[in-house]
A and B are shown apart, each in its own frame.
Chain A
């Protein structure tokens, strides 16, 4: 199964707000640490190396296009 690139979130705005709220009151350093932990938790849940690799590539590609 390839990486899901179409919308897969029933209420994306709510989920997005929950992520942002989780960072409330944290320094940038702590926020980055939170993100690392979150990524690891979700990667374990996905448990599919090919999908994670595809996501990593997409994220890297988006980052390299940054002006």
Chain B
């Protein structure tokens, strides 16, 4: 594959430019990064057109986001790109943590089998975007306008009027809905003058992506206070094309211009991996980070997703992954609203659920950062104490925080959740609000047979559905919000879903999060839960 970073996307004058009246589009997305592209692909999968405005004329210049978590891979699999990411990327699930020169801890992120997708795939962001752009072209529904930028945004009675800048002047677009997926420095957020407040971290980190031949397993290695970066931390990760991500904490005082000089960065690389190392640089970048989010992700007809809505430290790979999960949460809701099936207020739940997810991710990444870069001397004393104890004391290993790696948020308090007939604590991993766990079916994978629309999952040791369930399937499949059916007797799946000894019925949303679950089946209860999950009925049950 030629270097996809060399692909230049030319500006093409749109037919919308130069018209007397602004052209109308149902959905305009600002930003062709992972989040904007996934939102467009998911909408296209549901039959909707989208225009994407992108300032640049190329893919991500650096590798940036590299760790794609299992839930993100499942979403991408639903959109038809999962296998491409696996084939091109580096699958991994194990990590090691070192303190000084000793290994203190090793972990396995997916110890159980029976999942279609691995715990993680490492792949440079430009490849992720490349596959999305190619898939977008195939839909025939996505119009990416490269080298154009949002210059103005004003709400109208039932839409958004955007002013778009191009190499040849500007033009206007009237969108029913706008998705701001234009990153941490979101232009849309600035144009709307929305405060983006939070905590700024002083410590600086140096990323070196290098190409080298290194015979080493694909594992995440993290060092606290290693001899080659005394008093600080370092991280090593494998990416596609024999590319390795090295990340060095360089401190508050480090001189930006000096650090990014290849000869200085090379000294750090050789310090970590050996004086005689044969390598070339792919990308050098110095960064500081912030933890902050918008108060509201929905502003009328403008919806903020990804870094435009929330920004966090990279430890735990929660930025890119939570952004893709924002898009996953948004697309099905916007679909139902665009088709007039659900009321607009369903989109309030996008903020409700994803702001809660952002808070969870911000909490984890902030704690990781405080552990990795202690903010005072006593904090460092505790940190080093935990690291030292971890060698002999198993409990202390659980405290070592080199990044809590991205897992999907369970929307525990969501207003869309319906009843849970399970006992407290029973099959808690698949309680209402949680993303459905994959499981092997007699014929394929659970997550392949769900998603896109609502799905009812009937789990039972018995071979055939009870007649009252079977009799309801046709009616539910033809409802205004259709519910398809999956019937499963596979033991491993029933165990994962707490239906080992008796039947269970799960209702899954189009994003494969669990809306409700019962021990028995009632058509009226399912209809009520669907209404609730689409904000058609917000009365408490």
Task: State the A residues within 8 Å of B (CB).
Answer: 4-9, 12-13, 16-17, 19-20, 23-24, 26, 28, 31-32, 35, 58-59, 61-63, 65-67
Contacts and interface: CB of A to CB of B under 8 A. Distances in A.
B378 A9 contact: no
B394 A19 contact: no
A12 B377 CA distance: 21
B125 interface: no
Contacts of B197: none
Given A13-B367, A61-B392, A62-B391, A7 B378 contact: no
B399 A13 contact: yes
B4 interface: no
A58 B392 contact: yes
A37 to B, nearest CB: 14
Interface string B387-403: 01101111101110100
Contacts of B385: 62
Contacts of A13: 364, 367, 399, 401, 404
Interface in B381-427: 382, 385-386, 388-389, 391-395, 397-399, 401, 404
Contacts of B388: 62-63, 65-66
B412 to A, nearest CB: 15
B230 to A, nearest CB: 12
A28 B393 contact: no
Given A13-B364, A13-B367, 14 more contacts: A6-B395, A7-B394, A7-B395, A8-B395, A12-B398, A13-B401, A23-B379, A28-B377, A31-B378, A58-B389, A62-B385, A65-B391, A66-B388, A67-B100
A44 to B, nearest CB: 21
B264 interface: no
27 contacts: A4-B395, A5-B393, A6-B394, A7-B395, A7-B397, A9-B398, A12-B395, A13-B364, A13-B399, A13-B404, A16-B367, A16-B371, A16-B382, A16-B399, A17-B370, A19-B382, A20-B370, A20-B379, A23-B378, A24-B376, A26-B378, A32-B378, A61-B392, A62-B385, A62-B391, A65-B388, A66-B388
Contacts of A16: 367, 371, 382, 386, 399, 401
Contact of B367 (A9, A17, A26, A59): A17
Given A20-B370, A23-B376, A67-B100, A9 B382 contact: no
A8 B388 CA distance: 18
Contacts of A5: 393-395
Contacts of B386: 16
Nearest to A65: B388
B398 A7 contact: yes
Interface SS majority for chain A: helix
A29 B301 CA distance: 54
Contacts of A66: 388
A62 B377 contact: no
Contacts of A23: 376, 378-379
B106 to A, nearest CB: 15
The 5 nearest A-B residue pairs measured at CB: A31-B378, A7-B398, A7-B395, A23-B378, A62-B388
A7 B399 CA distance: 9
A4 B398 CA distance: 14
A56 B376 CA distance: 25
A5 B396 CA distance: 8
Contacts of B367: 13, 16-17
A31 B376 CA distance: 11
Interface string B354-389: 000000000010010011000011110010011011
Contacts of B378: 20, 23, 26, 28, 31-32, 35
Contacts of A63: 388
Contacts of A31: 377-378
Contacts of B377: 28, 31
Contacts of B399: 12-13, 16
Interface string B326-347: 0000000000000000000000
